[in-house]
Amino acid sequence: MAKNPGLAFDEKYFQNVNVNASCIEKLTNEIIETVDGCDFFDVQEKRGNGGKIDWLIQAIELIDLTTLAGDDSRSNVARLCYSAINPIPSKIVKQAGTELSIAHTKCAAVCVYPACVGYVKESLDLVEKEKRPDIAAVATGFPTGLFGLESRLQEIRYATGEGANEIDIVIQRQLVLRGEWEKLYEEIRQCKQVCAEAGACMKTILSTGELGSLNNVYKASMVAMLAGSDFIKTSTGKESVNATLSVGIVMCRAIRDYYRLSNKTIKVGLKPAGGLKTFTHACQWIHLVNTYLGSDWLNPKLFRIGASSLLDDVIKELAKSTLGRPIKMEDYLFDE
């Protein structure tokens, strides 16, 4: 899936950027108000964007189902993999009907620490290839990135050697805060080179809540894409401020500008992560991407949502829309 070869570093692509924070806040509020509107799904269906069930299914298919806990083990990773492969209880599948083709729905990827990649591969190797989510690993000193470059590169090699085909790297935020853009570019470029050697997609985590300003969010986004990032990602999920719609708008603007800079040949993906727990959150981000990047980006090759608990809320909403009642434990028992 890796697709961005990168471009030569040049500060002219971002040095004069000036993000209007009040304008971004207004656009953010518009997204929230639109999604909160009682007729949101009716309007979307009339526009050819699908009804509520379509949005629920799409949300599931965009999730990088994640566990990044200190007590991760073979057993809980195996359970996560099962959820990613079979996210929808069979009772809901049967009730929804085959016309929705939800029986084959799966999450986009399973995301874990490098040491757990082998557990994911072990679980996914037991199912047919077309049913397997991708295997993503956080790397390069996650979540801080405060390690020597060579050790960060070695961690990528380890994760891909274990079976990861997607790597979520983290940047050293101090390089952004000090304006050392060329050094940031070079470090990301070297990470991309190692990922490319293994045929792995690279997502670059910007930790936007720790970059100091929206101007820096735009600049870091552009530098990451120039260096070859296939996705730019908001957060590690460990910061005090994680994925916000405001930084999402700014990152979408950078992605669009990079697309134009490449003569409309390179589409870079977006991955919000951290604090996305409800179906409403997912709808806000899907609507944001559709509004600022277009429907071409509304697929797992260009848009992911990093989350650990979002799937549970989506399934609850799906149950209400298909079974006519909240999901019950019995719906999971003896699931096919």
What would the pLDDT profile of 236-260 be if each residue is shown by its tens digit? 999 999 999 999 999 999 999 999 9
Sign of dihedral through CA atoms 323, 329, 333, 336?
positive
Torsion (CA) 128, 199, 161, 186 in degrees, nearest 10: -150
* Options 64, 134, 168, 230, the catalytic residue: 168
SS3 category, 91: helix
Whether 301 is catalytic is: no
Q: What mean pLDDT is predicted for residues 47-74?
A: 95
* Options 91, 203, 219, 271, the catalytic residue: 271
Q: For position 183, which CATH number holds?
A: 3.20.20.70
Query: Residue 195 pLDDT more than 90?
Result: yes
- Asked whether residue 205 is domain-assigned, the answer is yes
Lowest mean pLDDT among 272-281, 298-307, 323-332: 323-332
- Asked whether residue 6 is domain-assigned, the answer is no
What would the pLDDT profile of 138-151 be if each residue is shown by its tens digit? 999 999 999 999 99
Query: Residue 101 pLDDT more than 60?
Result: no
- Asked whether residue 37 is domain-assigned, the answer is yes
- Asked whether residue 1 is domain-assigned, the answer is no
- Asked whether residue 187 is domain-assigned, the answer is yes
Whether 238 is catalytic is: no
Spatial separation of the C-alpha atoms in residues 20 and 315, rounded to whole Å? 38
* Options 192, 203, 219, 233, the catalytic residue: 233
Whether 125 is catalytic is: no
Spatial separation of the C-alpha atoms in residues 20 and 40, rounded to whole Å? 28
- Asked whether residue 2 is domain-assigned, the answer is no
How many domains does the structure of the chain reveal? Answer: 1
Query: Residue 336 pLDDT more than 60?
Result: no
Domain region containing 272: 11-332
What is the value of pTM for the model shown? Answer: 0.95
- Asked whether residue 94 is domain-assigned, the answer is yes
Q: 90 falls in which pLDDT band (50, 70, 90)?
A: confident
- Asked whether residue 114 is domain-assigned, the answer is yes
Give pLDDT, residue 206.
98
DSSP letter for 112, please. E
